Amino acid sequence: MESVGIGLLGLGTVGTEVARRLIDEWELLGERAGATPVLRVVAVRDIARTRDVGLKNVRLIADAHTVVADPAVAIVVEVIGGTDPATALIESSLRAGKSVVTANKAVIAASGPRLRALAAEHGARLYFEASVGAGLPIVALLRESLLGDRISALDCVINGTTNVILTQMRAAGVSFESALADAQRRGFAEADPSLDVDGWDAAHKLVILAWLALGAHVAPEAVDRVGIRDAAGDDVAALAELGYRVRLLAHAERADGGAVHLRVRPTAVGARHLLHDVDDADNAVIISSDLAATVIVRGLGAGGASTASAVVSDVVSAVRERGAPPERIAAVRAEVAMLGDEDVEVAGYVRVRLSAEADARALVLQALEDRGLAVDAAVEVAGSELIVLTGVAPRAVHDGALETLDTLTSVDRILGALDRVEA
């Protein structure tokens, strides 16, 4: 059987799993690909370091550019992460006519359409299933299976680290800081968790999904992004009592006129919602479209093995599709209109500490109504605390109502505020 040379950039957690599968399962992968993918060379930072994988007949080198230039390498697998030098290495590979498999969400979010066009220009292909949802085949679903649909919205839980933290906060009744420390001890969170807990990881993934689903490429900086650092254990617990679970919800939508909105925010998810029971490291993506209606994909969205599954699957596809005509690239809107806060509608949750003023509860509820924000429910807890579930209204109305509450003498303090979704 013909063999196809593979060059691997990076041998961390994911890279090690990819190398192990390519080496140990070469016969199975060859049967599925129609030619045998053979790992020829791996680029690592430290050649002398002991590796947890037997690299039989595989060269280990320090210069990633040498891997890209190697004539024995037909497909480059990039799993080093970050944008520099990953972007340049991917560009060089594609210009050399070599297909690239990557798990790099930051690179694809920033440059995906440009790199995909570059691949087509040079007779190569760009594969990035592992950049979103690890082992969930969501990229393939959007690139291939739903091409006949008009997709209007996406709702996702696509960051395993924050989901583990929020699940622990609810289940154990602990603070964000305690849940984060526990997630770090268990290997679910990095020593520096900023990309996850500040919402950047989810924002990058949402940008990629929105590009494929909505045909609009939005800069990650344009995502309405709020992380979970300020998520209060008291809010998580109070919402659990009311039947809600807090998720870092990633949402994208396209209005009839073509304008789009992308947001990543901690959100109270109602019991009837499909994302309500997506706990721990599970990921899930809900696709709303005209023909297929509601499609949900769910599974383990974190970990080396899960991510490696998507990477190796893309390697098999790259081997199988070598020599095929260049991929036809759908046009992506260069100028994307973004929906403003007056056009984006959300429901909400707010928890306040009431002052000792007479009729404080009634005054708070009346102030919300006066600002155009309907009250769906109001519950007094812990003596002086009031929880209000507000109705669907534009983001600007919610923000204005919170500003009003902050000025009321009947409100001692606003303790927490979150978006809310029901079904």
Catalytic residue annotation: 205
The residues pairing with 288 across neighbouring beta strands, listed in sequence order, are 153, 294
C-alpha 206/C-alpha 190 separation (Å) is 21
Distance (Å) of CA 163 to CA 81, 133, 169, 266, 382 = 22, 13, 10, 10, 27
The residues pairing with 36 across neighbouring beta strands, listed in sequence order, are 3
Query: What six digits make up the tokens of 83?
Result: 């944008």
C-alpha 360/C-alpha 376 separation (Å) is 18
Dihedral, 105, 56, 69, 86 alpha carbons, nearest 10:
20
C-alpha 27/C-alpha 31 separation (Å) is 6
C-alpha 296/C-alpha 154 separation (Å) is 10
342: phi then psi, degrees, rounded to nearest 5 = -80, -15
Query: What six digits make up the tokens of 273?
Result: 């919602």
179: phi then psi, degrees, rounded to nearest 5 = -65, -35
DSSP 145: I
Which residues does 100 contact at the CB level (< 8 Å), separation at least 6? 75, 76, 77, 78, 90, 93, 94, 115, 119, 124, 125, 126, 127
Burial of 10 (0-12, 13-18, 19+ CB in 10 A): buried
Distance (Å) of CA 46 to CA 43, 190, 192, 279 = 9, 21, 22, 37
390 contacts 396 by C-beta, under 8 angstroms = no
**Nearest residue to 259 via CA among 213, 223, 216, 224:** 216
Is the omega angle on the peptide bond into residue 266 within 30 degrees of 0, that is, cis? Answer: no
97 contacts 72 by C-beta, under 8 angstroms = no
267 contacts 249 by C-beta, under 8 angstroms = yes
Tokens 């560009």, located at residue: 91
